[in-house]
Chains A and B, each alone.
Chain A
Amino acid sequence: MTRAAAHVLLVDDHPKALEVFELRLKGLGHRVTIANNGEVAIGVVERDRPDLVVLDVTMPEMNGYQACRAIKRIDPAIAVIILTAKTEAADRFWASQSGADEFLNKPIDPALLVQKIEALLGKSS
Chain B
Amino acid sequence: MTAERVDDAPFTVGIVGEAAPGVYEHVLAAVVASGASAEIWTEANALARRASVDAVVFLVGSAPRRLQPIASALDRDPRTRGVPRVLVVDAATTAAEIAPLGAGALVLAGARREAFMEAFSRVTEQLRARVDAARRARAESAELGELERTLADIQGEGASLSHDARVLFGVILGYASNLRDGFAGPITDEQRRHVLSIVEASNDAAALLDRYVAALRRVIPAMSEPPRSLVPRVDVRREHDLGELARGTVALFGGVAAAKGIRLRADTTGVRAWCDAMQIKQALVNLIANALKLTPAGGAVDVVERLTEPAPAGSTARREVELVVVDTGPGIPAEHRARVFERGVRLDRDRDTPGSGVGLTIVRDVAEMHHGRVRIDEAPGGGASIALVFPVNLRTRSGESRAVAAAASASPSPSGEGSDDASSQRSSPPSSPRRRELRDFE
B153 at the interface (CB under 8 A from A): no
Q: Which of B319-356 contact A (CB under 8 A)?
A: none
**Contacts A87-B166, A87-B210, A89-B442: A94 and B171 contacting too (C-beta < 8 A)?**
no
A24 at the interface (CB under 8 A from B): yes
Residues of B within 8 A of A90 (CB): 285, 429, 437-442
A110 touches B177 (CB 8 A): yes
A36 at the interface (CB under 8 A from B): no
Interface residues of A toward B: which range?
35 or more
Residues of B within 8 A of A88 (CB): 438-439, 441-442
Q: Which of B181-237 contact A (CB under 8 A)?
A: 181, 183-184, 199, 202-203, 206, 210
B166 touches A94 (CB 8 A): no
Q: Could you tell me the distance between the alpha carbons of A103 and B253 in the complex, rounded to whole angstroms? A: 11
How many whole Å from B55's CB to the nearest CB in chain A?
57
B82 at the interface (CB under 8 A from A): no
Residues of B within 8 A of A92 (CB): 252, 285
Interface residues in B, total, Cβ within 8 A: 45
- Which stretch of A1-9, A47-55, A58-66, A117-125 is in the interface? A58-66
Looking at chain B's contact residues, is the secondary structure mostly helix, strand, loop, or mixed? helix
Q: Which of B369-418 contact A (CB under 8 A)?
A: none
How many whole Å from B196's CB to the nearest CB in chain A?
11
Q: Could you tell me the distance between the alpha carbons of A55 and B428 in the complex, rounded to whole angstroms? A: 16
**Contacts A109-B199, A110-B174: A58 and B441 contacting too (C-beta < 8 A)?**
no
Residues of B within 8 A of A19 (CB): 174
From the candidates A20, A63, A65, A93, name the one contacting B174 in the complex (CB within 8 A). A20
A107 touches B438 (CB 8 A): no
Nearest residue, chain A, Cβ from B437: A90
B69 at the interface (CB under 8 A from A): no
B41 at the interface (CB under 8 A from A): no
**Contacts A23-B178, A87-B210: A107 and B278 contacting too (C-beta < 8 A)?**
no
B167 at the interface (CB under 8 A from A): yes
Nearest residue, chain A, Cβ from B355: A89
A111 at the interface (CB under 8 A from B): yes
- Extra inter-chain contacts (7) besides given A17-B170, A103-B252, CB under 8 Å: A17-B174, A60-B431, A85-B166, A88-B441, A91-B429, A107-B166, A109-B177
Seen from chain A, the residues whose Cβ lies within 8 Å of a Cβ on chain B are 14, 16-17, 19-21, 23-24, 27, 58-63, 65-66, 69-70, 73, 85-94, 96-97, 103, 105-111
Could you list 23 A-B pairs, sorted by A, with CB under 8 Å? A16-B174, A17-B171, A17-B174, A20-B175, A20-B178, A23-B184, A63-B430, A63-B431, A65-B429, A66-B422, A70-B422, A85-B166, A86-B438, A88-B441, A89-B442, A90-B429, A93-B281, A97-B278, A105-B166, A106-B170, A107-B170, A107-B171, A108-B170
